[in-house]
Every structure is written in structure tokens, then in C-alpha cells.
Amino acid sequence: MKRLSEMRFAVCGVGALGSNLALTLVKMGAKNMLLIDKDRVESRNLATQAFGLEDVGAPKVEVLRNSLFRETFVEVDVFNKELTGNNAGKLLGKPDLIVDVFDNSLSRQVLKDYAQTHVIDCLHAGVNDQYGEIVWNEKYQVPSDTGLDVCDYPLARTLVLLVASTAVEAIMQFIAASEKNNYSITLGDLKINKETR
């Protein structure tokens, strides 16, 4: 708990995975967090993301910051900006852990490269169709963009919550025992597999 409360997390992307993951981490005891996302809440996001109808139109990072404070009195830092190779250093700084839950390949590649260059631990989590994965930077391969945003599909909520929860568990294993476990989740057969690749 002490290590969790002292670590500096940069959660990059606060859509379906990021909003649920950040909320879980803070409720478990994280106190030092940076949220980065350029998007605003849309009504199509409400089924899978930690936002309500009254939040539609507002910047996601601002809404999530207010929600986290209301629920836990934890104040987090936010950037309502697009992360690029040109501004990554300014926005990210040197957190203890980067959590990549962006929904596009370009931003994911920026994070992978930044983490590798600056020797920062980085966990990537993503969903596509009925599949989710949680992979540490050392083994991560940036996928190509599919054009589908399953995080806006209401029936994807179970997979989103499974991936977000499993990502938090991977983070806790890293904090507690310095283990970097990778996972894949297949919703069709409800299997959560520890990856050995």
C-alpha cells in the first residue's frame, strides 16, 4: 500500500480502459497520478467509460479528475492535450510507471519509444473485438489501427472491465514483487491467460 501511494502513475488515455483503470488504482490507494487525453465525453462513450450523461461535452481528463476527487479526495494532474513525439517529454516527465491505454497506434508508438529511451516502466493495455491484452513494454508490439472502437460498443463493457481489472492486477504484481506478467483475455471462451512469450 505504501509503494502504491508513493508511485507516480501516468495514465495515457482515459476512455473505457483508462477511466476505469485510474478509478480503480486511486480507490486502491494511488495518490500521485497524471491523466493525459485530448478527447471530450460523448454520449456513445457512456456504456463503457466512467462518465455520466451530465459529463457529455466536457474534457474527459477534467471530468475524471473531479470524479476522483469527489470519491477519494485525491487530486490528480491532467493534460487535456494530444500526446506527440514533440511534447511527450513536457507532458510525461519521468513517472514511475506509464500506463498506455490509448486507442491509436501513433500515440502507442510514442509511449513505447519514450519509455524505452528514458528507461521508464510501461504497461500497455488494449481491446479489439472479443480480445484484450496487457503487455509490458519489453514484449509489446504496437498493433495497426483497426478503425473499430469497441470501447464505444455497449456489449463490450464486460471485456473492458476485465482488461482494466487485469491491468491493475499486473500493476500490483509489479509493485509488490517486481514481476512483469503479460496477459491475454479472450471473451468468447472467458479465458484469462498468463502469457509466456
Calpha distance 9→112 (Å, rounded): 15
Structural domain for 29, as ranges: 2-195
- CATH code of the domain in which 32 resides: 3.40.50.720
Contacts of 143-146 with CB under 8 Å at 24 or more apart are 143/105, 143/108, 144/105, 145/104, 145/105
Burial class (CB in 10 A: 0-12, 13-18, 19+), 15: buried
Query: How many domains would you assign to the chain?
Result: 1
Tens place of pLDDT per residue across the chain (197 aa): 889 999 999 999 999 999 999 999 999 999 999 999 999 999 999 999 999 999 999 999 999 999 999 999 999 999 999 999 999 999 999 999 999 999 999 999 999 999 999 999 999 999 988 889 999 999 999 988 766 676 667 778 889 999 999 999 999 999 999 999 999 998 777 777 777 76
